[in-house]
Amino acid sequence: MQIEINKPILELNDRLAAANRALLAQNKVFMLDIMASPGAGKTATILATIECLRERYRIAVIEGDVASDVDAQKIKASGITAVQINTGGACHLEAAMIERALEMLPLAELDLIIVENVGNLVCPTEFDLGQTAQAVILSVPEGDDKPQKYPGIFAIADVVLLNKLDALPLFDFSVEQFTSSLEALNPTAALFQVSTRTKAGIADWATWLSNIIDA
């Protein structure tokens, strides 16, 4: 017999996530949750995405980190409102943290909130935040076997960004292998090959995002 110790915690989280989702819908705000390992390029992707979409949408960012406000400062330096959540050690964001962050944002004056989840490929999958869509970023140096090793996060993604494409010549990363294991896990996920350094693929990704925001 298995004792499901996490069940009440997840049920409470799901209730709060549903309330967040309803609040966002009421204010016509699209919330994108971005999940990835530490160092995959979440903050750089957010900044590049903002550059493409800031003329078109009113954007804010919620930054989740175990400690520090380094990433929130980078976002604020670009002139975008950012709320920092320090999880105090927790390796994922939860709906209750997002609820508090949403209270600090002028929802009626926003179109898009981008959430940078804590760097982790495991437990963010368990905690619904009330997001409208979920993106996973994998960077080339992490290896093409990650969908096989962390199937859960790739299976729930609406969209996957393969980042640091400019580093391909330096690593034994098979785009074909990565693409086929992703397709086996999640045939409907959109996939963009990008480089936040060279900006390759960023405009295509931003166009895709803007199409689902407007849908």
Kindly list the residues in this chain that would bind Mg ion in the complex (CB under 5 A): 42-43, 71
Given Mg ion, Zn ion, none, residue 123, with its beta carbon under 5 to 8 Å by kind, binds Zn ion
Q: Does 114 bind Zn ion (CB under 5 A)?
A: no
Q: In 54-141, which ranges are continuous DSSP H helix?
A: 70-77, 95-103
Q: Which is nearer to Mg ion, 73 or 180 (CB)?
A: 73
Interacting partner of 71 out of Mg ion, Zn ion, none (Cβ under 5 to 8 A depending on kind): Mg ion
* CB 173, min distance to Mg ion, A: 22
Q: Which of 148, 152, 143 is nearest to 120 (CA)?
A: 152
What are the φ and ψ backbone dihedral angles of 170, each rounded to 5 degrees? -90, -10
- The minimum distance between CB 196 and Zn ion, in angstroms, equals 25
Of all residues in the shown chain, the one whose CB is closest to Mg ion is 43
Show contacts with Zn ion in window 118-157 (CB under 5 A).
123
Closer by beta carbon to Mg ion, 43 or else 49: 43
Tell the smallest beta-carbon distance from residue 127 to Zn ion (Å): 8
The reply to whether 66 sits near Zn ion by the rule CB under 5 A is no
Q: Which of 19, 23, 52, 91 binds Zn ion (CB under 5 A)?
A: 91
The option from Zn ion, Mg ion, none interacting with 146 (CB < 5 to 8 A, set by class) reads none
> Which residue lies nearer to Mg ion by CB, 181 or 196?
196
Cα-based torsion angle of the residue sequence 130, 35, 189, 153 in order, rounded to the nearest 10 degrees: -90
- Cβ neighbours for 4, distance < 8 A, ≥ 6 positions apart: none
Question: Could you tell me which of 91, 96, 88, 134 has the C-alpha nearest to residue 115?
Answer: 134
- Interface with Zn ion includes 92 (CB under 5 A)? yes
Least Å distance between CB 42 and Mg ion?
4
Q: Which tokens sit at 32?
A: 């994108």
The burial of 188, by beta-carbon neighbours within 10 Å (0-12 exposed, 13-18 middle, 19 or more buried), is given as exposed
Q: Of 56 and 100, which has the nearer Cβ to Zn ion?
A: 100
Q: Helix, strand, or coil here: 116?
A: strand
Comparison of 62 and 105: residue with beta carbon closer to Mg ion? 62
Integer angstrom CA distances of residue 72 from 58, 67, 114, 146: 17, 11, 12, 28
Q: Which is nearer to Mg ion, 40 or 112 (CB)?
A: 40
Sequential DSSP letters for 128-171: ----SEEEEEEEGGG-TTHHHHSHHHHHH-SEEEEE-GGGGGGS
By the criterion CB under 5 A, which residues form the site for Zn ion? Answer: 91-92, 123
